[in-house]
Amino acid sequence: MLENLLSTCKVSAIAALAFFVATVAPLSAEETFTSEPLTIQTSDGKTHEFTVELATTDAQRQQGLMYRKSMGTNNGMLFDFKNDREVTMWMRNTLIPLDMLFISKAGKIEHIHAGAVPHSESIISSRGAVRYVLELNGGAAKNFGIKIGDTVKSAQLGKTSQ
């Protein structure tokens, strides 16, 4: 009887360990990102300089800004989807509020979703074909006077799809 109980405990412990490893392992494979300068020129002629991390692979785009506790005022993340298409985003596991700027291949801001709510699983649509999404801190679009039609420039925006 005691031997059966010990055997059952061992099996349960192994199953629990396997479950733990299976659920934690994906989180430990954190992606790394390169950074580059990015400029937004507003319709009133002002320019705003940012340093953005580049999400150019599927794995980087999936991770995005998840689990980040903060982001500098002039920082962000630029997602490159390689081709023009309708893009959808969400805020699962994202801890900070964000503004999402949906940008055409030519660098024109086509849509702004201001104040995306942390942890929300609501779908946020580009509302048309775009190639890029720029995530900035929540409120940045308003604070910097960024509007639809403004121009975004960076080395990544100048690259052709690969």
Predicted confidence pLDDT, tens digits, the chain (162 residues): 545 544 554 544 444 444 444 444 444 468 999 999 999 999 999 999 999 999 999 999 999 999 999 999 999 999 999 999 999 999 999 999 999 999 999 999 999 999 999 999 999 999 999 999 999 999 999 999 999 999 999 999 977 654
Task: Examine the domain organization and report whether 144 and 75 are in the same domain.
Answer: yes
Task: Examine the domain organization and report whether 5 and 37 are in the same domain.
Answer: no
Q: Looking at residue 127, what is its pLDDT?
A: 98
Task: Examine the domain organization and report whether 114 and 86 are in the same domain.
Answer: yes
Q: Which tokens in the block code for residue 97?
A: 């509020």
* Residue bearing tokens 């942890």: 119
Task: Examine the domain organization and report whether 98 and 112 are in the same domain.
Answer: yes
Give 49-93 pLDDT, tens digit per residue: 999 999 999 999 999 999 999 999 999 999 999 999 999 999 999
Task: Examine the domain organization and report whether 26 and 36 are in the same domain.
Answer: no
Q: Is the Cβ–Cβ distance between 132 and 151 less than 8 Å?
A: no
Give the CATH number, domain containing residue 122.
Answer: 2.60.120.1140
Task: Examine the domain organization and report whether 154 and 114 are in the same domain.
Answer: yes
Task: Examine the domain organization and report whether 17 and 92 are in the same domain.
Answer: no
Task: Examine the domain organization and report whether 3 and 67 are in the same domain.
Answer: no
Task: Examine the domain organization and report whether 20 and 80 are in the same domain.
Answer: no
Task: Examine the domain organization and report whether 12 and 90 are in the same domain.
Answer: no
Q: Which domain holds residue 22?
A: 1-30
- Number of domain units in the chain: 2
Q: How many CA atoms lie within 13 A of 38 on its CB side?
A: 27
Task: Examine the domain organization and report whether 14 and 68 are in the same domain.
Answer: no
